[in-house]
Amino acid sequence: RLAPSAIALRFPTPMLGHAASAPAAATRDDSSRIDAAIDQAIVEKRIVGAVVLVSRDGQLVYQRAAGLADRESKRPMQIDTVFRLSSVSKPIVSAAALALVDQGKLSLDDPVTKWLPDFRPEPATGATPAVTVRQLLTHTSGLGYKFAEKPGSAYYQAAISDGFDDLRISLDENVRRLAGVPLFNRPGEGWRYSLSIDVLGAVVEKASG
């Protein structure tokens, strides 16, 4: 299933073909161009549906819900359709962590165990140094994702949630389960798209109080 898109565009005054002194409004030509871009993306199946809002000078000048919110059930998109954030949460959590670094409350080279004492996963090859905040931020921690593994693998056996399942467990519980499965590599020795940012979220929670 292709995920729908939620798009919010905020243009400075000169955009959308208006002079700097023009009142906040979208011309018919502006709207037609935006409509055409949305329609083309849907026809080319780059998206299933979208909600597009355009704000100019703090005022809403264009809004449209197009396509489907759910392809299988043919449910049409609505302006107030709720979207899954999914991986958009990664830059949000990362920005929060870096803000704590700027404030001196967190260091990139802090071991995760400073904040999560029981988070001590080991690679299949044996003992390893503690995972650091930097390695979580750069996906070099040695962690992985359940959806990228075959059913029956360690992540499945530990019932770890990757956000694409119906598991209803807390972040603390998910991190506890992650700590009990082998790392794919020693921290810092390989890159793998992973649940690193979920663990970083737990670190942010503790470091920020």
Considering only CA atoms, which of 53, 73, 51, 39 is closest in space to residue 10?
53
Q: How far apart are CA 116 and CA 98, in angstroms?
A: 18
- Please pick, among 87, 153, 170, 208, the residue that the annotation labels catalytic: 87
Which amino acid appears at position 75 of this protein?
A: R
Sheet holding 59-70, edge to edge: 5-11, 49-56, 59-70, 75-76
Q: Which two tokens stand for residue 114?
A: 């400073």
Contacting residues for 9 by C-beta, under 8 A, at least 6 apart: 52, 53, 54, 55
Is 161 designated active site?
Answer: no
Which residues are known to be catalytic?
A: 87
